[in-house]
Amino acid sequence: MSKRKQMPGLRLKGNIWHIEKRCDHAPGGWLRESTGKTRRSEAEQVLIERLAEVRQQAERVERGIHTFEVAGLRYIEEIAHKPSADASAMHLDTLLPFIGQLPLDQVHDGTLKPFVDHERNRGLAPKSINNALGVVSAVLNLAARVWRDEKGRPWLTQAPPLLRRLSVKGKQARSYPLSWAEQDRLFKELPRHLADAALFAVNTGCREQEICRLRWDWEQQIPDLGATVFVLPALVTKTSTERVVVLNSVAKRVVDSRREIPSEHVFTYRGSPVGKLHSSAWIRAWKAAGLPIQPDVNRGVDNLRHTFATRLRAAGVPLETRKTLMGHAVSDITTHYSAPKLGELLNAAEKATDRSRAQTPVLGVVKSAA
């Protein structure tokens, strides 16, 4: 019995097969990448599929056909300087598994329905889903009206479709500030990197992207108080103004615990900045902690911010001070705060750590009839 002829173009590195094969359609004339497989037969199948994909992509480009993934990556490159770039990239990460390989002229309400259904089933608010659809619309509009290939052809040769948004009218999912017991259960279920970020959020009122993008070089010493603050630049805040984040004793412990991790960013995972807090790990932890999963209850990380605000109010912190701590747009220029003013904010933020005073009202959740 003759030995099976092996397919050329594979090389074993360690225990993983890698592709090293000449391919006229690949950049530079070579296809070089890992198959991620330890068995040669499985690696050969990956090679066959990748060669077909590269050839199809080259044929699409020659015919002036571009996939949504390629267009999406170009869009992110063009808006990289804008504050919205990170949020748009996050939306694309969730969109690409559903429409990434589709030609641009096949992206419409019908092909987007699986994405919309998936996001609704995992409890995402209509507004967040609409924001993702807005990114799709932006990509399609640029592809039809601005981008041209080497032959002068638009990337999308037809008018971009009008994408229907979800209705955000009527009863909205309500915020769910956490009790101390619920917080303890939830944070116990989170992996370390998310638990740290969540504990920081519930003690500072920072928004998700303010936390994910938090950098060490934004930290400033306040010698008169023996404390530090973070000064967030306008490009990361929702109000597009600089914001001072004061650290109560719990937030300070979180920050100090991460100083030995080598990174430009405070909150990292495996050497890279945390991209988002509302991840699959967050969703699993929310359910495992026995927190409500009814459609009319918000299950997102914004609840941490609402919890901080609720605890400040319960502890008797005045409205204007609460607004400043929460980073709402106010007339003051936050970076010009004096040490006494920062001391006042620090004392107010510390009240949110007092479990005897900063009690969150217990919210009843009415279960729908079976």
The residue ranges of every structural domain in the chain are 10-62, 68-145, 180-353
pLDDT-derived band at 333 (thresholds 50, 70, 90) equals very low
Instruction: Give the tokens for residue 76.
Output: 């992110």
Does pLDDT of 61 surpass 80?
no
The phi and psi torsions of 50 (rounded to 5 degrees) equal: -70, -40
Q: 164 pLDDT band (50/70/90 cuts)?
A: very high
- The pLDDT assigned to 108 comes to 95
pLDDT of residue 62: 63
- Looking at residue 293, its pLDDT comes to 83
Q: Which stretches of the chain are DSSP H helices?
A: 40-62, 68-78, 85-99, 109-121, 126-145, 180-189, 192-204, 208-212, 249-257, 280-288, 302-314, 319-326, 339-350
Q: Which pTM does this prediction carry?
A: 0.59
Q: Tell which wins on pLDDT, 93 or 337.
A: 93
CATH number listed for the domain at residues 180-353: 1.10.443.10
- What whole-number distance in Å separates Cα of residue 232 and Cα of residue 216? 11
Q: Looking at residues 226-233, what average pLDDT do you find?
A: 91
pLDDT at 112: 96
Cβ–Cβ < 8 Å for 119, 94: yes
- DSSP at 360: P
How far is 302 from 175, CA to CA, in rounded Å?
A: 8
pLDDT at 275: 87
Q: How many helices (H) and strands (E) does the chain have?
A: 13, 8
Q: Sign (positive/negative) of CA torsion 56, 61, 65, 68?
A: positive
Please state, in angstroms and rounded to a whole number, the distance separating the CA atoms of residues 51 and 44.
11
- 64 or 285: whose pLDDT is higher? 285
Tell me what pLDDT residue 367 has. 39
Write the pLDDT tens digit of every residue in 286-329. Answer: 999 999 888 778 888 999 999 999 999 999 999 999 999 998 76
253, 257, 262, 263 alpha-carbon torsion, rounded to 10°: -40
pLDDT above 60: residue 241: yes
**Residue (of 203, 240, 209) closest to 328 by Cα position:** 240
